[in-house]
């Protein structure tokens, strides 16, 4: 015999058997996570964070109530959910008309597209969820992002840059209409 074949090696007629690297070395499995595994972990973490608060309410001169970070946030990190009733645009327009009748009510409605349909998160009702109280700034430190949980869109705010503890949380409301700026001059800044 020419040589002993390694266990599991294939014999060919009259030739030296073909050997595989795994005949000599054990198979190593990577501990790195695939992109889909990383996305799944990120999805789970954000889903859990939606229900915990890392902010506090404070009075901000010239603005009224605002939200202050109670911890440091890294760029891209989940900050808070803009939580309220998720409704379709037809119901949202009806509610908006009702809110317009009473200026003391205020209006905390956020319109967005999801799966080719327009929705609104109506956060007008007072709750212990703080996303509705984050003030406007064209140069905000947060930005909105849609996060799907079991087919239901959740509107979240993530840090658009590093945010220090004690800093006011701000995002751009995106409303540049003349009527809105006339009614709310602070939208200019």
Tokens of 25: 């070395």
pLDDT surpasses 60 at 87? yes
What are the tens digits of pLDDT across the range 105-115?
Answer: 777 888 888 89
Q: Quote the CA–CA distance of 84 and 76 in Å, as a whole number.
A: 23
Looking at the whole model, is its pTM more than 0.75? no
Percent of the chain with pLDDT over 90: 14
DSSP secondary structure code for residue 70 in this structure: S
Question: Rounded to 10 degrees, what is the CA torsion of 100, 110, 68, 178?
Answer: -60
**Scanning the structure block, which residue is given the tokens 């800044």?**
189
For 131, 152, 161, the CA distances from 134, given in Å and listed in that order, are 6, 23, 16
Q: Quote the CA–CA distance of 119 and 153 in Å, as a whole number.
A: 9
pLDDT surpasses 70 at 27? no
**Partners of 69 in the beta sheet?**
55
């Amino acid at each position: 015999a020419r040589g002993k074949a390694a266990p599991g090696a294939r014999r060919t007629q009259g030739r030296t058997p073909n050997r595989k690297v795994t005949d000599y070395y054990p198979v190593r499995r990577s501990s790195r996570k695939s992109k889909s595994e990383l996305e799944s972990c990120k999805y789970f973490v954000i889903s859990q964070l939606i229900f915990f608060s890392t902010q506090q309410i404070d009075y901000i001169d010239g603005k009224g109530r605002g939200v202050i970070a109670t911890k440091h946030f890294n760029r891209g990190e989940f900050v808070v959910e803009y939580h309220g009733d998720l409704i379709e645009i037809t119901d949202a327009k009806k509610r908006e008309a009702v809110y317009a009748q009473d200026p003391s009510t205020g209006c905390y409605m956020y319109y967005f597209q999801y799966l080719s349909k327009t929705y609104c998160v109506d956060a007008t009702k007072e709750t212990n969820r703080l996303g509705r109280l984050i003030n406007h700034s064209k140069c905000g430190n947060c930005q909105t992002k849609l996060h799907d949980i079991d087919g239901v869109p959740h509107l979240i705010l993530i840090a658009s840059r590093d945010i220090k503890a004690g800093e006011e949380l701000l995002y751009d409301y995106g409303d540049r209409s003349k009527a809105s700026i006339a009614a709310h001059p602070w939208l200019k800044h």
